[in-house]
Structure 1
Amino acid sequence: MKETEKPSSAIAKEKPFERLVEGELRIAGGFTWKLCNLLSAIESTGSLSRAAKKVGLSYKGAWEILERANNLSPRLLVTTAIGGKHGGGSVLTDAGKSLLKLLARLRKEHDRFLDRINRELEADTEFNYLIRRTLMKASARNQFFGTVSEIHEGGINVEIVIALKGGDTLVAAITQESMKNLGVAEGVEVVALIKAPQVLIVTDLGPYRLSARNQLSGTVSRLQKGAVNTEVVVGLPGGNSVYATVTNDSIEELGLAEGNGVVAAFKANAVFLAVAS
């Protein structure tokens, strides 16, 4: 064996990985994998009735698949004897065994292909981050990925400063207990979630200042008007988008339009944090 080659035992012990890409092997034409499964079951049981039951087909359905295959194949795939003490037997012919082996090889090659693709994707950090974050299901319209850059501890609550891509930051206020339970620390990657109704859109504060800890300046990139409310999408300089739900009346009063410069404001306690388990 060459030094660069892995023994079969080493290959079997490779680190398991999560399959992020799945795919079904399909063959052009009218071929169905039901036939392959049926042939395999016939080979192992020696009976069409038991094979049909094993693959979840009715006896009539199995007969129809087998008859059609035998009719279309240049050579018989299965020979079947009807009747007898055990209801007759079914045996794969040499042609049937050859077809089954070919299909098994195709499936094996298909599985190897998927394994290779999944291992390549596993090694791609950015893809892994993206796909795993999209697996998360949450009702919050705003979901931002970032890294904890600062932690300011108080008596009960903790202020978590999160660095987003492109230089934007936001602040979350959570309890000391939540921080410990989540394992939040500087350098930890988190997802910040904010519900759209919690986001205020400000066009001009004048001489006033807001108490909201988070005040993100950006540009209105889209207005999606509904019967009562409008979804306002604010594009931030760093590339993230903030979603806010505003009444249609407020849109008119503010004179909001795409391209307007605005501030998306929300309180630190309106930010929920999620971390990978």
Structure 2
Amino acid sequence: MKIKGELGFDAADNFFISAGRINLLKAVAETGSISQAAKHVGLSYKAAWDAIQVMNEVSESPLVLKKTGGAGGGGAELSPYAVRLVASYDLVNNKLSVIMSEIQENIHDLDDLLIALRRLSVKTSVRNQYFGKIKEINLGQVSAEVIIAIKGGDEIAARITKTSVERLGLKVGGEAFAMIKASSVIIADPSVKDKLSVRNFLTGSVEDLDAGEVNAFVTIKLEGGSELTGVITKESLAALNLKKGGKISGAFKASSVIIGVND
């Protein structure tokens, strides 16, 4: 993957003078005509005219001026302010190109970095969040079961509507997030696995205990390396006799799993 950067000028709160508009200004300087400049950059005359009008309006000083006289009866030219603006753009853009090249040469795992940044950009109030690949999609008449493989070999099954599968563009092998609220996680002894009617039953060891006046948050270090947090009452905490490092499981329904994807 090649990294790119684009330079532009923030001329007003709602308007950005981009590289494309700078190229339009350069074309006006070269051709002396808005119509010829439009052809040069692949715009219609109206689109070029509108862009120039807006740039003139939002800039500190007009960028394109009417040019009177000449064989064609007049045309357009850049103002001294626009000439300085274009020159400044070229200077900074050349520096930016050098920086981008250095980044490209020194970041060898760019693809992995960008994937990580996309994952980190997701913000949610849900405590348990996992990123993985879709292993299976089992379609029913109305709903679908989506199985996501997370790190370490653990799997999470989610029950969502068929419409959601289509809307999210879910496919086997594709990437997805699985999110479960801590309040939806049942903390249980591993021995009761066959006695609970829940689709997901993940086992690990007690990583952390955070007891409040009424409830306690129990964080489980799953066998695959991920963490799962659930909420139980202080009475249940005492009954389970939980201690850090002790074996414990977290169970939750497939319908409690929220599925998300990056755009």
Paired with 2:192 and 2:166, the residues of 1 have a C-alpha distance of 40
Query: Are the counterparts in 2 of residues 121 and 128 from structure 1 also a CA contact under 8 Å?
Result: no
Residue among 129, 153, 156 paired with 2:115: 129
Residue among 172, 187, 193 paired with 1:186: 172
Aligned sequence identity (%): 34
| Aligned amino acid, residue 168 of structure 1 | D
The alignment status of 1:276 with 2:262, answered yes or no, reads yes
Alignment of 1:221-232 (within 5 A): 221-232=207-218
C-alpha displacement of 1:266: 0.3
Unaligned runs of 5+ in 1: 1-13, 20-53, 55-100
Unaligned runs of 5+ in 2: 7-59, 61-87
| Aligned amino acid, residue 157 of structure 1 | S
C-alpha displacement of 1:271: 0.4
TM-score (norm 1): 0.58
Query: Are the counterparts in 1 of residues 3 and 104 from structure 2 also a CA contact under 8 Å?
Result: no
C-alpha displacement of 1:115: 6.8
Query: Are the counterparts in 2 of residues 198 and 244 from structure 1 also a CA contact under 8 Å?
Result: yes
| Aligned amino acid, residue 254 of structure 2 | A
Paired with 1:257 and 1:18, the residues of 2 have a C-alpha distance of 52
- Equivalent pairs, count: 181
Residue 198 of structure 2 aligns to a residue whose secondary structure is coil
Residue 131 of structure 1 aligns to a residue whose secondary structure is helix
Paired with 2:142 and 2:219, the residues of 1 have a C-alpha distance of 34
Q: CA RMSD in A?
A: 3.0
C-alpha displacement of 1:124: 2.4
The alignment status of 1:260 with 2:246, answered yes or no, reads yes
C-alpha displacement of 1:265: 0.3
Q: CA 1:152/1:207 → structure 2, altered by over 3 Å: closer, same or farther?
A: closer
Q: CA 1:186/1:229 → structure 2, altered by over 3 Å: closer, same or farther?
A: same
Paired with 2:5 and 2:238, the residues of 1 have a C-alpha distance of 49
Residue among 144, 159, 162 paired with 1:176: 162
Q: CA 1:115/1:247 → structure 2, altered by over 3 Å: closer, same or farther?
A: farther
The alignment status of 1:213 with 2:176, answered yes or no, reads no
Larger deviation: 237-246 or 267-276? Answer: 237-246
The alignment status of 1:145 with 2:131, answered yes or no, reads yes
| Aligned amino acid, residue 162 of structure 2 | Q
Report which of the two has the higher share of strand.
2
Residue among 199, 203, 214 paired with 2:185: 199
Q: CA 1:204/1:172 → structure 2, altered by over 3 Å: closer, same or farther?
A: closer
C-alpha displacement of 1:128: 2.0
C-alpha displacement of 1:165: 1.4
Query: Are the counterparts in 1 of residues 5 and 97 from structure 2 also a CA contact under 8 Å?
Result: no
CA deviations over 1:50-76 (Å, ceiling 9, x no partner): xxxx8xxxxxxxxxxxxxxxxxxxxxx
Query: Are the counterparts in 1 of residues 3 and 100 from structure 2 also a CA contact under 8 Å?
Result: no
The alignment status of 1:167 with 2:153, answered yes or no, reads yes
TM-score (norm 2): 0.60
Match of 1:77 in 2: none
CA deviations over 1:209-256 (Å, ceiling 9, x no partner): 211100001111111223332221111111111111222222112111
| Aligned amino acid, residue 126 of structure 2 | A
Q: CA 1:198/1:121 → structure 2, altered by over 3 Å: closer, same or farther?
A: farther
Paired with 1:148 and 1:198, the residues of 2 have a C-alpha distance of 22
| Aligned amino acid, residue 126 of structure 1 | D
Residue 165 of structure 2 aligns to a residue whose secondary structure is helix
Query: Are the counterparts in 2 of residues 122 and 128 from structure 1 also a CA contact under 8 Å?
Result: no
Paired with 2:95 and 2:212, the residues of 1 have a C-alpha distance of 51
Query: Are the counterparts in 1 of residues 146 and 157 from structure 2 also a CA contact under 8 Å?
Result: yes
| Aligned amino acid, residue 224 of structure 1 | D
Q: CA 1:211/1:140 → structure 2, altered by over 3 Å: closer, same or farther?
A: same
CA deviations over 1:150-188 (Å, ceiling 9, x no partner): 111111110011111111111000000000000001011
| Aligned amino acid, residue 177 of structure 1 | T
Paired with 2:155 and 2:105, the residues of 1 have a C-alpha distance of 33
Match of 1:245 in 2: 231
Paired with 1:113 and 1:166, the residues of 2 have a C-alpha distance of 38
